[in-house]
Amino acid sequence: MQLAESLGALVLLLLPLVSGIPVPGEHVDPDVIIKLSIALEPRDSQLLEDTLYAVSDPASPRYGQHLTREEARALVEPRPESTEAVRRWLAGSDLEHLVPPEDGQFIRISMPAKRAELLFGRDFKLHTRPDGKVARSMDNLVPIDVRQHIASIYSTLDFGTTTVQGSTLYPKFPFSKSARSLDSSNRSVCQDDPESVDLQDCNNTMTPACLRNLYNMDDPPVAAHKNSLFGVAGFLGQTAQYRELEMFVDTYASYARGANFSVEPINNGSNPQGEYPSGEANLNIQYAISMAHNVPVRFYTNGGEYRDYIPDLDINDPTIASVEPWLEFASYLVDLPDKDLPQVVSISYGINEHVLPKDYAIQTCNLFGQLGTRGVTVVTAAGNTGPGVSCMSNDGLNTTKFLPMFPSSCPYVTSVGGTEGNSPEFATNFSSGGFSEYFRRPRWQDEAVGGFLAEHGQRWKQYYDARGRGYPDLAAQAHNYPIYNHGVVEDADGTSAAAPLFASMIALINNERFNLKKPALGFLNPFIYKHGKAAFTDITQGRSVGCQGVSYWGLPSPIIPDAGWHAVAGWDPITGWGTPLFDRLRTLALCVKKHTYSARPGHVTENE
C-alpha cells in the first residue's frame, strides 16, 4: 500500500464509513456513493506555520490575534492554476458540475462508484498483495500533469446506514478493568471536597477530589462565559452515557450535579444510550465534566473507520482492525463557523505514526495547525506504549526501532504523558514518548529538546530520529481513575485520562480569560516552552518500558533490552516539562502580555 511511492506527492486514501466494508477481492457496489476530497497544494507552504507561531508566541506583537475561519483558510489557499488543473481533470469526466463553486484548499465531490471508476479508470475493489497486506487497487490513478497540484486525495464509501460497533483496534489506551461495587471500603476516596482528601488514599483511587488537591484546583469555578466550549473527541463506536455520568457525579463530584454535555455527530456518528462500548468515552466525559465544572462540554462523536493504513505488527489486518478517521474529524472542525468552534479539544486516541501514510498525517496535522490559528488548543494523549510495543518498521525492511505515536507527534498539538503516585509523582512505565519520524523538531523545542539530547540522547540513538518533534510536552496523573461504566465502578489507567484532565485546566483558564475580555490561549506550546514551564512540577523519577518481544497483536517482535526513556531534570520524552500546578499556570496565563484584538466572535472587542 505504498501509494506515496507510486504517486509521488499524491496519496489516495479510502476511509470506509460503516459496516458492510468490502472484503479483499470484492467489488464495491457501483451505486454506492463515493465522497471524494481532494486537498490542493497551498500557494505558500510556510505561511500556515509562520502565522500559527506569530499568534501563539507571547513574544510576538501578534500574540493572541487569532484568525477567523476565512482568514485561516486563506493561509492554505492554492494557486489558481492548481484549482483549474483539478477542475479541468474532473470536467474531462463530466463531473465539474458536481463541484461546489467556492474555491479553497479542498475540492469535495460525491458520485456513484461507477462514475468514480470512470474518473480513475479502475474498479473500486480490494486485493491482497503478495506480502499478505490488503490495499485498494487504485494505483496510477491521476494524470501526471495533475498530481503536482494535489497534496492528498481521500475518499469515503457511504453505504447509507450507520452501525455502532466496538473497536477491534488494539487497546491503545487500555483499561484496568477491575469492576467493583461502591461499598463502605471505598468511601474515604469518594468525597468530593479536595481539602478533606488523604493523598495516601489517592494512590489507590485517583478521584476528581484527589486531582483537584494534587494540582491546586481548589478555587471555586468562575461562571461560564457565553463563548466557552470544551470539546471531547469520540471515535470507533465509543458512546458517552448520560446515566453513567449522573452516577459518577453523584458519587465523586456532587458540586457538578445537573451538569450535562451536548453531542455533535461527525460523519454519521451517533451516541446511543444503553449497552454499547463506552469505557473510553465515559472516562473522557466524566472527567471533563467534573474537572472543568461550569464550562460547557460537547462530545464530538465520529462515525467511520479508516482501514487503508499501512499495517505493522501491532495492527496488521485492515479487514479486522480500524483506525480513527483523523482527516474527517479535523476537516469538520476546521469548517465550523467561529461561533461554533470549541476553544479546547481533548483527544484520547492515537496510533503508531508509521501506520498512517505520511501525507495523510501531515494533512491532518496542518488542519490542527489551522485550528491553532483560530485560538483552539488541541490536547492529545501521548499513548500507553512506552517507546513502542512491536518496535519494528512496516516498510518491508523490518528495521528495529522505537515507534512514535500520532497525533501526539504532530507539533501543532499539546501532548500529555502519564504519571502516578504523589510525594513524589513519578512517570508511569507505560507512558508513550519519543521523537517523530514525520515532523521535524519545531524551533520552540530546540533549547529544551536539544538539551535533553546533548545529555541523554546517545543511549538509544540508533532507534529514533533525533531531528524529530519530541513529545510529550507535559504529563499528568494516568493511573487508577474510577469511572462508572455499565453500572459499575471500574478503574481506568492511561494517558487517555491525563489528556482530558489537562484540557479541563485550559478550559477553565480560557473561561476566566473570556470574562476578563482576553482571547483564548490557543496553541499552547510556544507559551509552555518559554514561560509556562514555570508552572510545572519537574518529574525526575520513573521510566517507560517497551520493545519486549510481543506486539499488541500477539506476534513475535524485536526485543530491545531495557528499552525506555527515563524521567530526568528538565524536559524528557516521557513526562515533558512535568505535571501542571493549576494555580501557577492560571496566574501565568492570565498575566501573559496584552495586546489589542479585533472584533470577532469569541475574541476581545476592545483594548485591554
Binding site for Ca(2+), residues?
538-539, 570, 572
Q: CATH 3.40.50.200 in the chain: give the residue spans.
A: 175-591
User: According to the 3-state scheme, what is the secondary structure of 480-529?
Assistant: CEEEEECCEEEEECCHHHHHHHHHHHHHHHHHHHHHCCCCCCCCCHHHHH
Instruction: Inform me whether the pLDDT recorded for 343 exceeds 90.
Output: yes
User: What per-residue confidence (pLDDT) applies to 16?
Assistant: 30
Helical segments of 301-419, H only = 326-335, 358-373
Closest CA to 371 of 311, 331, 325: 331
0.85 exceeded by pTM? yes
Instruction: Inform me whether the pLDDT recorded for 204 exceeds 80.
Output: yes
Which triple of cell numbers denotes residue 238? 465509543
The residue with greater pLDDT, 68 or 135, is 68
CATH ID of 175-591, from 3.40.50.300, 3.30.70.20, 1.10.1200.10, 3.40.50.200: 3.40.50.200
Which triple of cell numbers denotes residue 45? 507552504
How many Å apart are CA 495 and CA 428, to the nearest integer?
A: 9
Binding site, residues?
538-539, 570, 572
Q: List residues bridging with 536 in a β-sheet.
A: 580
The residue with greater pLDDT, 151 or 348, is 348
How many Å apart are CA 344 and CA 372, to the nearest integer?
A: 10
The residue with greater pLDDT, 323 or 22, is 323
Find out whether 75 and 373 touch, Cβ atoms under 8 Å: yes
Range with the poorest average pLDDT among 33-37, 62-66, 400-404, 464-468: 33-37
User: What per-residue confidence (pLDDT) applies to 153?
Assistant: 81
Q: Which residues of 12-29 are buried (b: 16+ CB within 10 A; e: fewer)?
A: bbbbbbbeebbeeeeebe
User: What average pLDDT score do residues 491-515 get?
Assistant: 97
How many Å apart are CA 333 and CA 335, to the nearest integer?
A: 5
Instruction: Inform me whether the pLDDT recorded for 195 exceeds 90.
Output: no
Stated as kind and residue range, the H or E segment containing 109 is strand 106-112
Taking all residues of the chain, what is their mean pLDDT, rounded to a whole number? 84
Pairing of strands 556-559, 351-352: unpaired
Percent of the chain scored above 90 by pLDDT? Answer: 66
User: What per-residue confidence (pLDDT) applies to 498?
Assistant: 98
